[in-house]
A and B are shown apart, each in its own frame.
Chain A
Amino acid sequence: MARRKPDLLQGTLTLLILQTLAREELHGWGIAKRIQEASKDVLTVNQGSLYPALQRLQEDGQIRSRLGETESGRAVKVYRLTSSGRRRLDVEAENWRLTSAAVNDVLQAI
């Protein structure tokens, strides 16, 4: 378990959630797993922090939820992106690209 777990930057979690939901409708645990898998286990978020973020995105109208079902037939809340969430994803992703490119430039230059 001595894996390095970088702290997620403020706002990064939002971006990850939006990106994950852009592809499909998912429940909370599914989102956490998808992020973990896609980041090859580097980004194992403090999983609980997902839920306040989901709550806020929902109250801001960028995602919406409905009661869905798991494969095992269990009722669970599933989230999907709204069109304003899609717009926000574009903005946040672009921001991230700019920021990470800038940070990389700095790391290489010095």
Chain B
Amino acid sequence: MDWMWKWAARARNLIFRGRAERESAEEMEFHLEMEMQKRIRSGESPSAARRGALIDFGGVERYREQVREHRWGHRLDTILRDARYAVRLLARNPMFAIVTLLTLALGIGGTTAIFSVVNTVLLTPLPYADPGEIVRLRQSWEGVPTASISPAEHLDYVDKLDVFSTYGSYTYGVANLTGDGEPERVAGVQASAGVLPTFGVQPSRGRFFTEEEDQSFAPVVVISDALWRGRFAADEDILGRTVSMNGVDFEIIGVMPPGFRLPELLLAGGGSQFYRPLGITQDQVSVRGSHFLSGVGRLRPGVSVEAAASSVERVASEMVRDFPDAYPREMRFAATTVPLAAEVRGPVRAPLLVLLGAVGFVLLVACANVANLLLAQADKRERELSLRSALGASRGRLVSQMLIESVLLALLGGALGLGLAVILLDLGSSLVPPSLSWIGSAAIDGRVLGFAMAASVATGIGFGMLPAIRIGGRGLSAAIREGGRGSGGTRGGQALRQLLIVGELAFALVLLSGAGLLTRSFLTYVRVDPGVRVAQVVSARLALPSARYGTDEEITAFFRELEPRLRAIPGVIAAGAVSNLPLATTLGDLNFRIEGREIPEGGVSPRADWQVVTPGYMETMGPPLLRGRTITSADDASSVGVVVVNETLVRLNWPDEDPIGMRFTLGGQAGPGLVTVIGIVRDVRHEGLDQPDKPQMYLAHDQFRFWNGGGAATGMNLVVHSSLPLSELTGPIRETVRGLDPLLPLSQFTSMEDVRAEAVAMPRLLMSLVGAFSLLALVLAAVGIYGVVAYAVGRRTHEFGIRMALGAKPRQVSAMMLGQGVRLAGMGIALGFLGTYLVTRLLSTVLYGVSPTDPVTLTGVGLLLAAVAVTACWLPARRATRVDPALSLKVD
């Protein structure tokens, strides 16, 4: 029960502080009166009685203060009082407040914005059940660190691995949806039965397909929530309905929960609209060389990633042992497992950490600037602080007051910064291209709020510590003696400020170097010639449904007919089709055997990435022909098989011979398979501008069915070369296709310029953001050094007056101040180069075509910073020369 009295008393005294004060005063007054009356009764005069009572009491004010200090809420009270005082100080000095808060808001806001992206992308668990148990099964070959899995390999893993509770393989695909509503081309997934259970997802209605349905390639499909709500208007009786995909009827057996995405799409964006059986059966065990699957497994309880990896490695080595033809030793086939999260985050980890580091540097520069402002402010307040000290404020009390002021500043700045972060994220997500849309998914959650709060408090203590320590360490009586006017501020204070400036300049230089290197890297990157025409080319995707285009002849006839019609569109210069769009897709590869050349014992059969093209493709996009001829409409099903190869393929296989007219056999497939080299073209950076050149070959669409074992390619990218913009071409292209087949949907209309922009989106983002950060740091550092020199000039006006009265020339005085600034700049830049040397090597993973110690860039940014710093010193130093000796001596 008593604890209630205790807290009631504490709370009462805290909340009704005024009343408690009053009661305490009244109580003491009552005491004094009683004592007085007693004394008067015993014969003392009223005035003597009053005096005696007071003496016996021992100082009313003193005890009232003690009562106050004994109050439980006293500490809090002090803090609040200091905070109120700090707010009043800020209000009295609005310029200081604005500059400080803005600096802090920029620093904390930028850091918070980047952290929220890091938080969402790197720190939040993947959106699957127990994501830590999911691993990616990864195969690799010599020179190909991450390779796809073939159907036969998939079956091996399913049969032989016991480390997974579920395992599955899947591949992305597209399908033309027809039947109810408009024909629609949608992206989806073909997955083995184990895939969706591996992700621990449950259908929101219905069920997933079974192992049996998977292997029998049953016409069943699970559709996405979006497709269900969109195309099927959220039909409650959706289960059992059929949807026509590529002309085949599939029964809808389930609907996915909203928002589910396979790991590749988590960052890339976009979704899969359907999930249908992969349909790999034991019959396909021969298909070992066609790699197109991605594998995922969920670890059995108690199995570590390492254990799973060694198990997978063992299965892979068994494959190599059992099928030496398929896995030549030199190709160094291997397989392993990696945590899924590591794979998903891998590509963005380094860039994000670079950004976080960069913005952290900005925060440090901002801190240094604010600390400088506070130091200057503290110097001005020395009289006040000395006075308070003389009146009995303890040193700890003053230090805590200074800290409370700076933490309050930082919290205010942090609040502003949080608002800024929200704006920046919003702005960022609207500015980045679709491939970086995950940036927009960053949200301010509890952790981000905590981060902003912690950053603010740490910042406040960080920059508040210096002035506070100075007060703590310095004899305050010295300050009183010196008065407000010393010569050039106190020596310690000035040294501290100079140290801060040197640090600030050093950080700014590191940032500038990073920005410079990233800019150079970006410029190198965009200047890379992709090998194909990018300007004035638009593209659209199209797939012929197998139900209506059942034979190879129907398929090839369609494209043969389409090409001239596209070219007939007014304003179109050339048109064609290609199986994989450069810069946006990856290519599959095929091995081949050169006629008359035996593969030596233990040797490797050559491989090349392949593309299927229509006759118009080379004319539309290139790559430029170097020798021989390109594929024409004469290279059809009835003529001899032809192939166009790239420079790298020639260099690898015919380094000293003329390849034109040479023949090779493709893959191990049925059919004639023999193609003749008719031309050599430039290399194409198909999979990315920074990828190394690979052997590539181009096969004629009309002939491809002979060696792919399946049929003619049905899914192709139309490419059109025209000076007209994309918006004016989509209509005519749609019309043209509709003229041939009114039910055929076109999708993914895009210009190749946009495709390239996507390919360079990340380097561009890094360059822009780090560039912006470094500019901010540069401005802050310039303001900082300006402030320090201007302050020193201001404090030493008196001294300059004396110097000039004694005969010093204005030029000498300003040179002295300029010299001081230049010395600081020099030290900062030297220190900055040291920092750059240590830090920019971390950049090497995100740099392309430029060394982290590129001398041109580093010299350039060093000169830039030096120029800015000297200008920032020169402006206030010049003012020193305008001192009127007579006037300056009269001041004070």
B63, A48: Cβ atoms closer than 8 Å: yes
B2, A84: Cβ atoms closer than 8 Å: yes
B30, A55: Cβ atoms closer than 8 Å: no
Selected contact of B30 from candidates A29, A56, A64, CB within 8 Å? A29
A32, B31: Cβ atoms closer than 8 Å: yes
A55, B57: Cβ atoms closer than 8 Å: no
User: What is the bound-complex CA distance between A52 and B27, given in angstroms?
Assistant: 12
Q: Mark B19-38, 1 if CB is under 8 A from A, else 0.
A: 00001101110110011000
Which stretch from B64-72, B93-101, B532-540 is at the chain A interface?
Answer: B64-72
User: What is the bound-complex CA distance between A51 and B25, given in angstroms?
Assistant: 10
B10 in the interface, Cβ–Cβ < 8 Å? yes
User: What is the bound-complex CA distance between A21 and B2, given in angstroms?
Assistant: 16
A59, B30: Cβ atoms closer than 8 Å: no
User: What is the bound-complex CA distance between A64 and B284, given in angstroms?
Assistant: 89
A14 in the interface, Cβ–Cβ < 8 Å? no
Contacts of A29 in B (CB 8 A): 30-31, 34-35
Contacts of B5 in A (CB 8 A): 61, 64, 82
Q: Mark A49-89, 1 if CB is under 8 A from B, else 0.
A: 10110011011111011000000001011000011110000
B494 in the interface, Cβ–Cβ < 8 Å? no
User: What is the bound-complex CA distance between A55 and B63, given in angstroms?
Assistant: 11
B56, A47: Cβ atoms closer than 8 Å: yes
Shortest Cβ gap from A54 to chain B (Å): 8
User: What is the bound-complex CA distance between A60 and B64, given in angstroms?
Assistant: 18
Shortest Cβ gap from A72 to chain B (Å): 10
Contacts of B27 in A (CB 8 A): 27-28, 51, 76-77
Selected contact of A59 from candidates B24, B57, B58, B70, CB within 8 Å? B70
Contacts of A85 in B (CB 8 A): 2
A46 in the interface, Cβ–Cβ < 8 Å? yes
Q: A61-B5, A84-B2 are in contact. Are A56 and B70 (CB under 8 A)?
A: yes
Contacts of A61 in B (CB 8 A): 2-3, 5-7, 9
Shortest Cβ gap from B475 to chain A (Å): 32
Selected contact of A55 from candidates B7, B62, B70, CB within 8 Å? B70
Chain A, Cβ-Cβ closest to B3: A61
A83, B13: Cβ atoms closer than 8 Å: no
B806 in the interface, Cβ–Cβ < 8 Å? no
Contacts of A76 in B (CB 8 A): 26-27, 30
Shortest Cβ gap from A13 to chain B (Å): 12
Q: A28-B31, A61-B5 are in contact. Are A48 and B13 (CB under 8 A)?
A: no
Selected contact of B28 from candidates A46, A48, A64, A65, CB within 8 Å? A48
User: What is the bound-complex CA distance between A56 and B58, given in angstroms?
Assistant: 19
Selected contact of A48 from candidates B10, B30, B58, B71, CB within 8 Å? B58
Q: A47-B31, A61-B6, A74-B30 are in contact. Are A52 and B70 (CB under 8 A)?
A: yes
User: What is the bound-complex CA distance between A47 and B58, given in angstroms?
Assistant: 7
User: What is the bound-complex CA distance between A48 and B66, given in angstroms?
Assistant: 10
B13, A52: Cβ atoms closer than 8 Å: no
Chain B, Cβ-Cβ closest to A74: B30
Query: Considering residues B10, B26, B70, which has the most beta carbons from chain A within 10 angstroms of its beta carbon?
Result: B70
A58, B9: Cβ atoms closer than 8 Å: yes
Count of interface residues, chain A, beta-carbon cutoff 8 Å? 27
Contacts of B834 in A (CB 8 A): none
Chain B, Cβ-Cβ closest to A86: B2
B1 in the interface, Cβ–Cβ < 8 Å? yes
Chain B, Cβ-Cβ closest to A65: B9
Contacts of B67 in A (CB 8 A): 51-52, 55
Number of A-B contacts (CB under 8 A): 80
B30, A27: Cβ atoms closer than 8 Å: yes
User: What is the bound-complex CA distance between A58 and B628, given in angstroms?
Assistant: 103
B60 in the interface, Cβ–Cβ < 8 Å? yes
Contacts of A65 in B (CB 8 A): 9
Contacts of A51 in B (CB 8 A): 24, 27-28, 63-64, 66-67
Q: A59-B10, A84-B2 are in contact. Are A52 and B56 (CB under 8 A)?
A: no
Contacts of A62 in B (CB 8 A): 2
Shortest Cβ gap from A70 to chain B (Å): 8
A49, B70: Cβ atoms closer than 8 Å: no
Contacts of B13 in A (CB 8 A): 59
Contacts of B1 in A (CB 8 A): 82-83
Q: Mark B68-95, 1 if CB is under 8 A from A, else 0.
A: 0111100000000000000000000000
User: What is the bound-complex CA distance between A49 and B57, given in angstroms?
Assistant: 8
User: What is the bound-complex CA distance between A49 and B71, given in angstroms?
Assistant: 15
User: What is the bound-complex CA distance between A76 and B28, given in angstroms?
Assistant: 10
Shortest Cβ gap from A104 to chain B (Å): 30
A52, B63: Cβ atoms closer than 8 Å: yes
User: What is the bound-complex CA distance between A108 and B30, given in angstroms?
Assistant: 44
Selected contact of B9 from candidates A28, A44, A59, CB within 8 Å? A59
Chain A contacts with B in 17-32, Cβ cutoff 8 A = 27-29, 32
Contacts of A46 in B (CB 8 A): 56-58
Chain A, Cβ-Cβ closest to B35: A29
User: What is the bound-complex CA distance between A41 and B865, given in angstroms?
Assistant: 81
B59 in the interface, Cβ–Cβ < 8 Å? yes
Selected contact of B23 from candidates A49, A59, A77, CB within 8 Å? A77
Contacts of B70 in A (CB 8 A): 52, 55-56, 59
User: What is the bound-complex CA distance between A62 and B64, given in angstroms?
Assistant: 21
Contacts of B26 in A (CB 8 A): 76-77
Contacts of A44 in B (CB 8 A): 56
User: What is the bound-complex CA distance between A47 and B34, given in angstroms?
Assistant: 12
Contacts of A27 in B (CB 8 A): 27, 30
User: What is the bound-complex CA distance between A46 and B541, given in angstroms?
Assistant: 97
Contacts of A59 in B (CB 8 A): 6, 9-10, 13, 70-72
Shortest Cβ gap from B183 to chain A (Å): 80
Contacts of A55 in B (CB 8 A): 24, 67, 70-71
User: What is the bound-complex CA distance between A67 and B803, given in angstroms?
Assistant: 73
Shortest Cβ gap from A44 to chain B (Å): 7
Contacts of A28 in B (CB 8 A): 27-28, 30-31
Shortest Cβ gap from B800 to chain A (Å): 56
B59, A48: Cβ atoms closer than 8 Å: yes
Shortest Cβ gap from B595 to chain A (Å): 100
Shortest Cβ gap from A6 to chain B (Å): 16
Chain A, Cβ-Cβ closest to B53: A47
User: What is the bound-complex CA distance between A29 and B60, given in angstroms?
Assistant: 14
Shortest Cβ gap from A1 to chain B (Å): 9
A83, B9: Cβ atoms closer than 8 Å: no
User: What is the bound-complex CA distance between A101 and B456, given in angstroms?
Assistant: 58
User: What is the bound-complex CA distance between A29 and B7, given in angstroms?
Assistant: 25
User: What is the bound-complex CA distance between A62 and B5, given in angstroms?
Assistant: 9
User: What is the bound-complex CA distance between A62 and B503, given in angstroms?
Assistant: 56
Contacts of A48 in B (CB 8 A): 28, 57-60, 62-63
User: What is the bound-complex CA distance between A74 and B23, given in angstroms?
Assistant: 13
Shortest Cβ gap from B530 to chain A (Å): 77
User: What is the bound-complex CA distance between A32 and B27, given in angstroms?
Assistant: 13
Contacts of B69 in A (CB 8 A): 52
Chain A, Cβ-Cβ closest to B34: A29
Contacts of B56 in A (CB 8 A): 44, 46-47
User: What is the bound-complex CA distance between A13 and B35, given in angstroms?
Assistant: 20
A82, B2: Cβ atoms closer than 8 Å: yes
Chain B, Cβ-Cβ closest to A85: B2
Q: Which 6 A-B residue pairings sit nearest by Cβ, starting from the closest?
A: A61-B6, A48-B63, A52-B66, A84-B2, A46-B58, A29-B31
Q: Beyond A55-B67, A61-B2, list 6 extra A-B contacts (CB 8 Å).
A: A52-B67, A55-B70, A60-B6, A64-B5, A76-B30, A85-B2
Which residues of A are interface residues toward B (Cβ below 8 A)? 27-29, 32, 44, 46-49, 51-52, 55-56, 58-62, 64-65, 74, 76-77, 82-85
Interchain Cβ contacts under 8 Å between A and B, 10 examples:
A27-B27, A28-B31, A29-B34, A46-B57, A52-B69, A52-B70, A59-B13, A61-B2, A61-B5, A76-B27
Which residues of B are interface residues toward A (Cβ below 8 A)? 1-3, 5-7, 9-10, 13, 23-24, 26-28, 30-31, 34-35, 56-60, 62-64, 66-67, 69-72
